[in-house]
Structure 1
Amino acid sequence: MPSTLTNVAIENAPDNAIGFDVNHPISSAQAKAAFKSGFLFCIRYVPRLELNIEPVGDPDITFNEANRILDSGLALFLVQHVSNPGWSANGIKGARFGKNAAIYANECGFPRGVNIFLDLEEVSSASSPSQIEDFCNEWFDALSISGYEPGVYVGSKNGLNAAQLFSGTKFAHYWHAASQADPPTPRPTDRGYQVFQPLHLTSTQFGKLNHVSLIDKIGLGGTHPAFEIDLKVGSEVIEDVDLDFTITDKKGGNVKWIRRV
């Protein structure tokens, strides 16, 4: 039987909470330093393939790491690893990946109702919008039937316009990647995004953090870099992170995360 994360509550994320996503485990000391410095949440990864095909590796969250993060005070939700650039989208693949995300989250003790995000980026240009929609909707169905709350990270080369993304897919939780061009701009009637992964934090956002240094690794320039950085919080350094902030979308929707209570 899988372990269960205890003493946790599912919450709606507040506006303008600052957190980070990271593709490797973080220690208890790193998580505690991040929370003490003003970060409110962390986003970690689950695999897309069956565990007999791709055993758990360093990038994937585990039950023990989830407990470490939650014990620090940080809230937590999940995103699934994307395939290599140029992957082909279809409904069969979407159902498979969505099922695997739910199985792994359950094995790590995550309660039903927490957000798990599909990473939609770097899709082959040979995949049609209808194939990408089918992939997304089959992923959505496979995850939601297990009780988890599906969301979608909208990155570069996602293959969809605003109508296809916000009307052609079933999601109610959208996450805007650190890309200035590819994530579609919502139409006036669309709900829009609930998480933003900016290239830079605003001065107001950065002002919410204490004893934090943002170490630019890719030469974005400007102040407060937020994408593919090393994060120094107190005396701890967390390498290769992206920063994120939350908002309530135009239909009143929020990210659903878990937090220890």
Structure 2
Amino acid sequence: MKAAGFGACIRYLSRSDTQSGADLSSSEANAVLAAGLALGAVQHVSAAGWSPSAALGATYGANAAGNAQSVGVPTGVTVWLDLEGVNNAANSDDVIAYCNAWFAAVKNAGYQPGIYVGANCGLTGDQLFWNLQTQHYWQSGSTVPTLPQRGYQMTQRITAAADVLCGLSIDRNLTLTDGLGGQVTWWCR
């Protein structure tokens, strides 16, 4: 990946209180960092149609933080909440409460909480910007709200055909400095 021009990769954290075999591990993190790539972490999202609540956000946020710690992710790194596939009947106040509880748990562990804004996130651009307690926004390749003032720090590029590199299916992302000067923070060696 490094030889192909990539500078970083993002891997998954579990929603449960322990990492599964398919999620980021300490040995994988060490291999990625030794290869000269920066590393980030995002928590798996529930299956489409899930219903958010503050209690669920607190639980998943605590699990994201605990799993990041178990893998060795240093404090100060952006840990991402994947917000997509929210039940269409969900109230936006519940989505906001879910996100802010998740952010609080991750921030209390010393990480910088960020949000991956995917399809059917349940919030408008104004709600994402004005009501969420984060400064890090990642735009999926889906149709998602525009963020006023800040914009996104990372954007996903979706290709028409499957994007496979080094035998791995990947989603390409571009990092940016947002409209307020913010940037993603990475785990680097």
TM category (shorter chain) comes to over 0.9
RMSD: 1.1
Asked if residue 242 in structure 1 is aligned to residue 176 in structure 2, the reply is no
Asked if residue 38 in structure 1 is aligned to residue 5 in structure 2, the reply is yes
Counterparts in 2 of 1:13-52, with a 5 A limit?
34-51=1-18
2:183 corresponds to: 254
Identity of paired residues, percent?
42
Q: In the alignment, which of 46, 68, 77 is matched to residue 40 of structure 2?
A: 77
Deviation at 1:258, TM superposition (A): 1.4
Runs ≥4 residues deviating over 3 A: none
2:151 corresponds to: 192
Looking at structure 1, the residues matched to 38 and 127 of structure 2 have their Cα atoms a distance apart, in angstroms, of: 31
Deviation at 1:110, TM superposition (A): 1.1
Counterparts in 2 of 1:122-201, with a 5 A limit?
122-179=85-142, 181=143, 183-187=144-148, 190-200=149-159
Provide Cα deviations, 1:13-54, integer angstroms capped at 9, x if missing partner. Answer: xxxxxxxxxxxxxxxxxxxxx101211000000001123xxx
The structure, 1 or 2, with the larger RCO (C-alpha pairs under 8 Å, 6+ apart) is 1
**Amino acid aligned to 1:186:** L
Looking at structure 2, the residues matched to 70 and 61 of structure 1 have their Cα atoms a distance apart, in angstroms, of: 12
Provide Cα deviations, 1:158-188, integer angstroms capped at 9, x if missing partner. Answer: 0100111110111100000011x2x11122x
Deviation at 1:74, TM superposition (A): 0.5
2:78 corresponds to: 115
Deviation at 1:199, TM superposition (A): 2.1
The answer to whether the Cα contact below 8 Å between 2:17 and 2:66 also exists between their aligned partners in 1 is no
**Amino acid aligned to 1:56:** S
With normalisation by structure 1, the TM-score equals 0.70
Paired residue total? 189
Note the residue ranges of structure 2 that are not aligned, 5 or more in a row: none
Provide Cα deviations, 1:98-125, integer angstroms capped at 9, x if missing partner. Answer: 0000101111111110010000000001
Counterparts in 2 of 1:208-223, with a 5 A limit?
220=160
Looking at structure 2, the residues matched to 136 and 237 of structure 1 have their Cα atoms a distance apart, in angstroms, of: 34
Q: Against the structure 1 CA distance between its residues 199 and 56, is the aligned structure 2 distance closer, same or farther, given a 3 Å change threshold? A: closer
1:230 corresponds to: 164
Looking at structure 1, the residues matched to 17 and 28 of structure 2 have their Cα atoms a distance apart, in angstroms, of: 20
**Amino acid aligned to 2:91:** S
Looking at structure 2, the residues matched to 166 and 103 of structure 1 have their Cα atoms a distance apart, in angstroms, of: 27
**Amino acid aligned to 2:150:** R
1:208 corresponds to: none
Provide the secondary structure at the position in 1 that maps to 2:115.
strand
2:21 corresponds to: 57
